[in-house]
Structure 1
Amino acid sequence: MLHGTWDQFAACLGYLVLSGNEEEYFRAHYTPKPIDKALFADLYLEGEVVYGSQKFLRPVYDILLRIYREVLNPKVGCVDQIYGYLGNLLYLTHQNRDTGRQLDVMDFLWNEFWSCIISRKAPVFAPYFMFCICSRWENAGYGKLTDDVTLLPHKPNDLKVKNHSLPPRLPRDDYSAEEDSDMEYVPPADSGWFARIEAKLAKMFCLKSDINRRQYQAHRERKMGRRNTKLIMRKLDIPVESGSEEVITPEEEWLSKHGNVTEFEQLGLPGPSRRQRPTSDEVEPAESEDN
């Protein structure tokens, strides 16, 4: 079986393992616990903001936060809050601007991997290990592992500057009557109770349709994952039996069974399209191991 050292893993990612005493690098895990979020004041726009929230960050740190979450420190769950040592990373990036100091990437990954093992945090670094496995597999003379498995493509994110409103003004006692009147809510002309309820129903069912489609994507990815795992096991001459992962239900057929289409049709709202169950001639056969 394949094996490797931490230095070899760092080399696959294009980084060096440092000793920890280099002055030209900074490290985010320098405190036993994440720092107080009140220190993030310089990262936000001026006004009434909540420190530790993603909202109302300065544009440069808003983009930087999304880069860190997509590349270095992926997170699952609530993405509206800055929690864990991601806050330390943003704070130190701000403190070390224009100094020439760089982040010790492998030290950050080592501590995050350790947290996944000891604290049982969600392991979200699978792409790094998969890249290392493919590299070690090819260096061992077994060929390219990507030629024997089916990889799922992921659309790259386009991290643009978001156009969001400015934070509310700080509380003041000298507001004029004109300023207060500008802040009052003026309902639209056609805001009857029926229109409001209809809009809420449309939003609710559209959300339900989106959830159903996401559930189908998760269902398909699980089957593809089992298929790829068994292909690797067969490549290693490990006996394994085929299962239901060889046949993936078409999306329209799956949505017609799980999407509750009749509720959309009764209310006259846009929902997932309804389609009759395809015959055996219309369903594409599952790909063989050779293909």
Structure 2
Amino acid sequence: MRLVFAGTPAPAVPSLERLAASGHEIVGVVTRPDAPLGRKRVLTPSPVAAAAAGLGLPVVKAARLDSDATAEITALEPDLGVIVAYGGLVRQPLLSAPRHGWINLHFSLLPAWRGAAPVQHSIIAGDAELGAAVFQLVPELDAGDVFAEFRRPAGTATAGEALERLAVDGAGLLAEVVDAIGAGTAVARPQEGEPSFAPKLAIEDGRLDWTKDAHEVLARYRGTTPEPGAWTTLAGERLKVLEAREADPMDASGREAAGPLAPGEVRPERRRVLVGTASDAVELVRVQPAGRAAMNAADWGRGLGGVVRFDA
């Protein structure tokens, strides 16, 4: 089949590469325009644009799929549109332009977590399983019939780590569905159950609430790492929490740690920093104070001068 592929960030790249190595022809790659990155705000192609260039594939850069983009894509006469995290909506008449319409690789177990940040919301909610689904794109958000899905234990991965793994496994699932559509054997089923939604996260979503129990605190840390980033404040100054984990009840010397900590209470020890929650303590592993470089939490803790408390 003649495929048009739409995607922008790094998690879409494994799918593009997998389809480029298949027996299908990618007649165009649609991605969002170059964006300013870094302190110098240098215009940089999206990861998908860079991958497409390396594969020698024609690229259409569009901030949204308007009439101009629709005309350009339709002129390619695709049999199937494939979208993975493009960052924009496909509306009519583009939705019906390919002979087989569009399919979408989405990183959740639909109808759970429809929207822009499914992995993040799933981890924050404490779901035991993560997964991905390939479904038929329809006008309603992430509501089309599902061709295939897979499930994986959530474990203790951050959103970034989980998404990287799901992207690789999802590429294989997507390729299987594309092959089945081409062969005329693909079967899709309606989504079943009550949908939940996963809007894009804002910076405020990364704030850690130490009055929650340790599992909830760590779930929010994992779900917002690396973006938009987990953080807390001390005396009004923001502290980014780059790595955290459940605290071992024993200290570095193998002795049981000192008594319990109140929620938000910070206790520097010789080789680690503990923070109290509504249940067990959480260990900070790497942090980044405002205006400073990332550092080991133990090094940061030595400058505190004793036990302190994060802001409420």
What's the TM-score, normalizing by structure 2?
Answer: 0.23
Name the structure where helix makes up a greater proportion of residues: 1
Name the structure where strand makes up a greater proportion of residues: 2
Higher relative contact order (CA 8 A, sep 6+): 1
What's the TM-score, normalizing by structure 1?
Answer: 0.24
